[in-house]
Amino acid sequence: MPGRPRKRAAILRAAAEVFLREGYERASVDEIAALADVAKRTVYNHLADKEALFLAAFEAAFDRVNADMLAALDEFPDDPGDLEHDLIAFGRKLAGCHLDPEVTALRQLMSSEATRHPELVSSWRDRGPGRVAALLAERLGKVTALRIDDPVRAAHHFMALSTYEVQFRATDARKPSAKQFDAAVGDGVKAFLRAYDRHA
């Protein structure tokens, strides 16, 4: 592996770690350089200034996390055998993503810089949950057992019901137990089915 891109990757990884841990203002370029095991000058060699460093690191971290999010969709079979079971499995995967510390830290970081960088928010929404909703809508629309007028809205309802409570407690000091987690997701999915299943 060539030297230059390796340095750049190390810088972005370190920057993501420090920015996520400290927030934009509290993060220092010195610490990032030290963590990347690189001279500060090298950082400024790759990225013009702290701002550019932040945006690039955020972008990279988002891509990484978002891949997991979209991968959850593979959990959802094209032709579900046991619909409730499959939906619960998918809902767990989806809700589980929201518990990932990197995800919650990224959300917080985005939130705190939302005023200065509104494009971060819209990009996150469109490429993240918005994308998940669109893809999920496509799949739900094909399930004949469901009566769905507006697939995108139904997808949102599914996401809301399966993840609301988990997100609610995601920032809590002590995470919900596996039992609470499963119950929250399971009950959410069951409510979704009562609202959308033809014979429920």
Partner DNA sequence: TGCAAATTAACCTCTGCGGTATACTTTGAC
Partner DNA sequence: GTCAAAGTATACCGCAGAGGTTAATTTGCA
Binding interface with DNA (CB under 7 A) = 2-4, 7-8, 27-30, 37-42, 44-46, 49-51
Q: How far is the CB of 138 from a second copy (least distance, A)?
A: 18
User: Using CB under 8 A, which residues numbered 109 to 128 contact a second copy?
Assistant: 109, 111-112, 114-115, 118, 121-122, 125
Cβ neighbourhood burial of 171 (10 Å; 0-12, 13-18, 19+):
exposed
91 part of the interface to a second copy, by CB under 8 A: no
Q: Nearest-CA neighbor of 16 among 126, 8, 67?
A: 8
Cα 191 → chain centroid: 24
- Report the SS3 class of residue 162: helix
Closest contact distance (angstroms) between CB of 29 and a second copy is: 15
161 binds, among DNA, a second copy, none (CB under 5 to 8 A by kind): a second copy
Do residues 143 and 80 lie in contact, with contact meaning Cβ atoms separated by under 8 Å? yes
164 binds, among a second copy, DNA, none (CB under 5 to 8 A by kind): a second copy
